[in-house]
């Protein structure tokens, strides 16, 4: 049970596996007004930067669950580095279907709503771990503006399904699920650049060091195509944000 190896190659130097800078992650923690001792569950926690920095800065406690062996090990090392290993725990496992042993103050899935087969299923999954009156945190892409044609759509999604909404429609979707948006922090083009463009240097360094690896041809193809695709399509049309929700 693990992530595909190509994914960990791309993001092996990322601490945040979404288009957020450390500053935006810190802004989100401040915006949520987290109380010391608040219990947080982070499903698909990646390299643990959210839990670790918020434990350091706000005194929260928490558990992260992620399917990647490499990212889970990185998260545990980051907790030690920041001196919060006694407050946060990282579990290697499938976040899909994971429910906390005890109700938490904040339940999060930031950028991986595939674990619940989409936004609705992920919101429902998180609710199963949440205290009454607690916060749900969802990170999700959205369209910054209407997509004009099929070429642009395919360029943005790389062949994936078109299940994203415009920002107002996404907010309305949360309402249809019975939740109000009480805070949000949105990525901008600079934070998208820091997420996407940083992968290109990582992949190039990896390719130079592993030219005969079985994935070398796939990495080389991505390096050839992705910078143009990202700058032509994704950078202009795809947004991303983290939305704090409370049940109505």
- The total of other beta-carbon atoms located within 10 Å of residue 210's CB is 13
Into how many domains does the chain fold? 1
pLDDT at 158 over 90: no
- Check residue 163 and give its pLDDT: 83
| pTM for the predicted model, two decimal places | 0.96
Q: How many helices (H) and strands (E) in the chain?
A: 10, 7
Q: How far apart are CA 164 and CA 152, in angstroms?
A: 14
Q: How far apart are CA 203 and CA 198, in angstroms?
A: 9
pLDDT at 72 over 90: yes
Q: What is the DSSP string of 116-139?
A: GTSHHHHHHHHHTTEEEEEEEEEE
Q: How far apart are CA 203 and CA 224, in angstroms?
A: 11
- Check residue 9 and give its pLDDT: 96
Confidence band for 160, pLDDT divided at 50, 70 and 90: low
Structure tokens at 139: 């990170």
* Residue range of the domain that includes 68: 5-247
The set of residues, in sequence order, having a beta carbon less than 8 Å from that of 139 and lying 6+ positions away, is 18, 108, 109, 110, 111, 112, 113, 240, 241, 242, 243
On whether the CB atoms of residues 147 and 156 are closer than 8 A, the answer is yes
What CATH number corresponds to the domain at position 88? 3.40.50.150
Give the residue-averaged pLDDT of 86-109. 97
- pLDDT tens digits for 8-49? 999 999 999 999 999 999 999 999 999 999 999 999 999 999
| For the chain, percent of residues with pLDDT exceeding 70 | 99
pLDDT at 1 over 80: no
Q: CB burial class (10 A; 0-12, 13-18, 19+) of residue 25? A: buried
Q: How far apart are CA 113 and CA 141, in angstroms?
A: 10
Confidence band for 161, pLDDT divided at 50, 70 and 90: low
Q: 3-class DSSP state for residue 142? A: strand
């Amino acid at each position: 049970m693990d992530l595909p190896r190509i994914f960990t190659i791309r993001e092996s130097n990322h601490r945040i596996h979404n288009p957020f800078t450390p500053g935006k992650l810190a802004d989100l923690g401040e915006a949520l007004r987290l109380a010391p001792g608040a219990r947080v569950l982070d499903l698909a926690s990646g390299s643990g930067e959210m839990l670790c920095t918020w434990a350091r800065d706000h005194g929260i406690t928490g558990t992260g669950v992620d399917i990647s062996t490499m990212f889970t090990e990185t998260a545990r090392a980051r907790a030690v580095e920041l001196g919060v290993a006694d407050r946060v725990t990282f579990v290697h496992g499938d976040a899909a279907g994971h429910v906390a042993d005890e109700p938490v103050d904040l339940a999060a899935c930031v950028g991986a709503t595939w674990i619940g087969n989409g936004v609705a299923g992920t919101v429902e999954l998180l609710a199963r771990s949440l205290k009454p009156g607690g916060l749900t945190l969802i990170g999700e892409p959205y369209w910054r503006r209407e997509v004009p044609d099929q070429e642009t759509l395919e360029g943005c999604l790389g062949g994936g399904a078109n299940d994203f909404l415009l920002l107002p429609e996404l907010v309305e979707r949360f309402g249809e699920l019975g939740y109000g948006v009480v805070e949000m922090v949105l990525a901008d083009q600079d934070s998208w650049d820091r997420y996407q463009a940083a992968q290109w240097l990582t992949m190039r360094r990896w390719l130079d060091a592993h030219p005969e690896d079985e994935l070398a041809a796939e990495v080389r193809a991505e390096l050839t195509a992705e910078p143009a695709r990202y700058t032509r399509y994704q950078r202009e049309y795809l947004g991303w944000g983290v939305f704090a929700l409370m049940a109505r």
